[in-house]
Amino acid sequence: QVQLVESGGGLVQTGGSLRLSCLASGRTFSSYSMGWFRQAPGKEREFVAAISRSGRSTSYADSVKGRFTISRDNAKNTVYLQMNTLKPEDTAVYYCGAAARELTMQKNNYAYWGQGTQVTISS
């Protein structure tokens, strides 16, 4: 069982930055590939970024490539999402998830989810 708690969301202006954190409970954090997803009102939850168990490999949605960076600290049971050059279309609730499958972009492969953190970008 893994419990995930996101933090770091907020309201920022276009072009600003935010750093999201996701703290995982339990001793098995390093056995999971981690991912960030987001869901805007009226839309499906969509993939944003994923990171391998070791942290050496990452993958990104095309819409955030070059602006967002996912990282993890297995000693702290935490995964991060650094978001730069934010745009109004990045506005959404951001969720972190834990998956047994490495670097998966499919939300159905994620067994555990946090409660989400709201990110709002003003134009």
Do the beta carbons of residue 50 and residue 104 sit within 8 Å?
yes
- Residue 6's alpha-carbon distances to 62, 66, 113, 119, in angstroms, are 23, 22, 10, 11
The CA-based angle 37-34-87, given to 5 degrees, is 35
Beta bridge mates, 97: 35, 113
Per DSSP, the three-state class of 89 is helix
pLDDT tens track for 48-94: 999 999 999 999 999 999 999 999 999 999 999 999 999 999 999 99
Q: How confident is the model at residue 112 (pLDDT cuts 50, 70, 90)?
A: very high
Give the per-residue pLDDT at 41: 93
Mean pLDDT, the chain, integer: 97
| Coil, strand or helix at 36 | strand
